[in-house]
């Protein structure tokens, strides 16, 4: 067994919304509930960042959320992976000229997987997570 077998077999995710319209959050919820059911693979949504392997970030990063996002990322135990979901997390989307938006997620924390879409379909989110896990081999 390699060092990362726990990470590959049963990923515990934490969901962070940095100021989005919440559509991406609803699609993440769809992934975890019985229709697309990622929980059968052991992917569990946890309540504390200190229990998480992967953090799913949605939303264009607002000025108010930026210090909190950085604090949460620093509290995450290694090995940590970040997945940016939705076009707002990738590039601020349509909100990029806003007065309150301080840039996409990868300007502040390193991102390992990008899932574009507005919002991305649950199939796309699952595809992104599968590719991320596959790249850990």
Partner 1 sequence: MSSPDPIEAIKAEFEDRIVSWEEKSPKRYYITMPREDITKVADFIFAKQGARFIIASGVDTPEAIEILYHFAFDKLNKILTVKVPVPKERCEIESIAPIIDGANWIEREIAELLGVNFLNHPNPKRLLLAEDWPEGKYPLRQEPRRNR
Size of the site for partner 1 (CB under 8 A): 5
Residue among 1 and 99 whose Cβ is closer to partner 1: 99
Task: Return d(Cα 22, Cα 37) in angstroms, integer.
Answer: 20
- The residue among 37, 41, 70 whose CA lies nearest residue 55 is 70
Residue 102 Cβ vs partner 1, minimum distance, rounded to whole Å: 9
| Cβ 72 vs Cβ 16: under 8 Å | yes
Among 100, 123, 130, 135, binds partner 1 (CB under 8 A): 100
**108 lies in the site for partner 1, by CB under 8 A:** no
Residue 66 Cβ vs partner 1, minimum distance, rounded to whole Å: 8
**C-alpha dist (Å) from residue 112 to 36, 51, 65, 134:** 23, 19, 20, 12
Q: What string marks each residue from 37 to 76 as x (binds partner 1 by CB under 8 A) or -?
A: -------------------------xxx------------
- Name the residues that contact partner 1, by CB under 8 A: 62-64, 99-100
């Amino acid at each position: 067994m390699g060092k990362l077998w726990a990470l590959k077999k049963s990923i515990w995710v934490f969901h962070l919304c940095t100021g989005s319209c919440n559509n991406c959050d609803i699609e993440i919820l769809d992934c975890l509930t019985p229709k697309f059911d990622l929980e059968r693979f052991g992917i569990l949504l946890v309540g504390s960042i200190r229990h998480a392997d992967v953090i799913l970030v949605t939303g264009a990063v607002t000025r108010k959320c930026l210090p909190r996002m950085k604090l949460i990322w620093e509290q995450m135990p290694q090995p940590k992976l970040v997945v940016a979901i939705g076009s707002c997390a990738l590039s601020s989307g349509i909100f990029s000229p806003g007065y309150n938006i301080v840039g996409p997620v990868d300007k502040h924390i390193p991102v390992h997987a990008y899932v574009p879409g507005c919002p991305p379909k649950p199939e796309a989110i699952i595809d992104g997570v599968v590719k991320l896990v596959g790249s850990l081999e």
